Amino acid sequence: MNIKYTFFGLLLAISSIIKVNAQTDSSKQPSNEPKLIVGIVIDHLRSDYFSKYSHLFSDGGFNKIMQNGAFSSNTQYNYQYSQTGVDHATIFTGTPPAYHGIISHAWFNRISESAEASTYDKNYRKLGIVDTVTSKSPHKLLAPTLGDIMKLNNPNSRVIGVSLNNESAIYSAGHSADAAYWLDGVQGKFISSSYYQNTLFNWVNNFNATDLPNKYLDKPWVPKTLEDNGSSTDIIKAKLKLTDHFYYDLKKEKKQIGYHALKNYPAGNLLVKDFAATTIINENLGKDDDCDLITINFSCLGNNHRKFSPYSAEMLDCITRLDQNIADLINFLDEQVGMENVLLFVTSDQAASFLPEDLEKQRIPHGYFSSYNAIALLKSYFNVTYGAGRWISGYDSQQIFLNRKLIEDKKLILEDVQIKAAKFLVQFSGVSKAIPAHNFIETNYSHGVMNKIQRSFNHKRSGDVIIALEPGWVNQIKDERDLVAQYSQSRRVPLFFYGWKIKNKKLIQQLDIEDIVPTLSTFLEITPPTGCMGNPIKGLVD
C-alpha cells in the first residue's frame, strides 16, 4: 500500500513539511481572499463550556482561538425545532427550515404514504461498500448553500463535507459539492454517494484499509488523565475501583451496535479529524488561489448529551479531548496551508440541554412527554368523534400527520379536524402548545414562540398539528429512530472565527446562526445564496 494515502502517511508528510520548512512565519501577509474555508460544527457544544472549563483546555485549541480570533457566546437559532440535519442546513444556507425545507431527520411523505429520511434518494447508490440499500443526496434541500454559490462563482473551487453522519456531511456541502463523506455504521468505512462521483477515490479506500475504526474501538473509554499515564487496562480498572471515574468497554459496545458506537465516544471525533486531514492532503485543498471549502462535523457530544448531564465527567472528558482535536487541526492547517490563508469558523448545532433528572434535583419543572400515548389516545378520540378509521397517517418529531384522504372521503373540513386534534393534545401534561397547521398558512407571526415555530414550519412538508413542549420537558424515548428525532430546547450556541484577517474580538451583540453565510460571502465578495436571511457580522475584519 502506498503510505502516502494513509493517515500514518499523512503524519509522515506533515513531518517532512515541518522539516523542510523549519520555521513558520506568523507575520506572513494573508491572501486577498482565503484559500481555504474550514467550517467546523460540533454537536451540542455549549457556550458556557468556555467560561467553565477554559482552564482545562490546551494553549493550542479553543483558548488559542479565543485569544487570537473572534468569539460570540450568544449566537441564536431563531426557530423552534433545532436538530442535527436541520441545523446544518440552516448554517450553510443562511435560511430557516421554513425555506430550506429540512424540517427534521425524517418526515411523513404524503405521496409514498411512509416516513422518509431527509437524505433518502432512491436514484443513487452507496460508494465504498457493497450494499443493496439506496443511498443519499441533498435533493430535498430546497435552498442553495455557501458551497453551491462558491462553485457557481468559481467552478475550480473544491467543496467537500466530512462527518460520521450523512445528514451533516450532505447538508453542509450542498448540491454542487465535489463530495460528501460519512461513516457506514455497519462496515465501519467512510462512504459516499453516486450523486457526487461514479466510484470512491483510491485515497478513501486506502484510508479505510488502515482499519482505524477497529483500532480506536479496541481501547476502553476512560478519563483522559488516566489514559495519558500509559497505564495498562488492568491497572486502569484497579484505579477506577478507588475512584468515581468512568469506564466504558468499547469492544462490548461494538458487539452490540457495530461501528455506530464510534458516534457515542470521543474516538469518533478523533476518526473524523484523521479523515478530514487526509481529505485536505489528498484533495490539495487550499493549495491555489481558488478558495476551497471543507466542512467538518464532530458528533460525539451530540450523542452523549442524551445520556449524560452537560456538566458530567463524561461530557467534560469529551470536550477536553475535542479541544485537543481542534489544536491538532489548527497545527495541521498552519503547516499545510498557512493559517493566514485559512478562514476557520466553529459553531454548534444545538446546545446540550439538562436532563429531566438534573432538573428534578433542583426542583425545576420537568418531565417526559410520551408521544406514543398521546397519539394512541388521539386515535381513540377520533374514532369516537368521526367513526372508526385510520385517522393518523404518521407522527415524527412533534408533528402529527392526519389521513387527509380519509378526511376528504368523510367530507370533513381539514382545518376543523386539525383544530380538534390540537385542542385535544394541548390537554396533555408537558404540552405548551398544539398548533393547527392552517394557523401558519393564514397568519404571519412576527415575534415570540409562534414566530419561531413558524420559521420551522414548511407548508409542503410539515405536519397537520405541531406540538411544542413546556420548558424542561423532552420526548420519552421508545425506539432508536425517535432518539435521532429528538429536538433540543436550547437555541444559544457559541461561534468562533479564526485565521485569515480575523482580529481578536469578543462579539457581544446577539447574533443569528443565519449570519454565518452572508459574513463568509462578504469576505469572498460574492452574493449570498438565494433565500439567505442573515446579515454580515460587523466588526470581524477591520
User: Does 243 participate in catalysis according to the annotation?
Assistant: no
Q: How many CB atoms lie within 10 A of CB 504?
A: 12
User: What is the residue-wise DSSP string for 467-503?
Assistant: EEEPTTEEEPP-SHHHHHTPPBS--EEEEEEEETTPP
3-class DSSP assignment, residue 540? coil
- Where in 155-300 does DSSP place strands (E)? 159-162, 179-183, 190-193, 292-298
CB atoms within 10 A of CB 80: 23
Three-state SS across 273-328?
HHHHHHHHHHCCCCCCCCCEEEEEEECHHHHHCCCCCCCCHHHHHHHHHHHHHHHH
Asked whether the beta carbons of 336 and 24 are under 8 A apart, the reply is no
- The rounded Cα 336 to chain-centroid distance in angstroms is 26
In the set 6, 84, 90, 145, the catalytic residue is 84
Three cell numbers, residue 125: 447508490
Residues in the chain: 542
**Residue 221 DSSP code:** B
Cα separation, 359 vs 363, in Å, equals: 6
Question: Which of the residues are catalytic?
Answer: 84
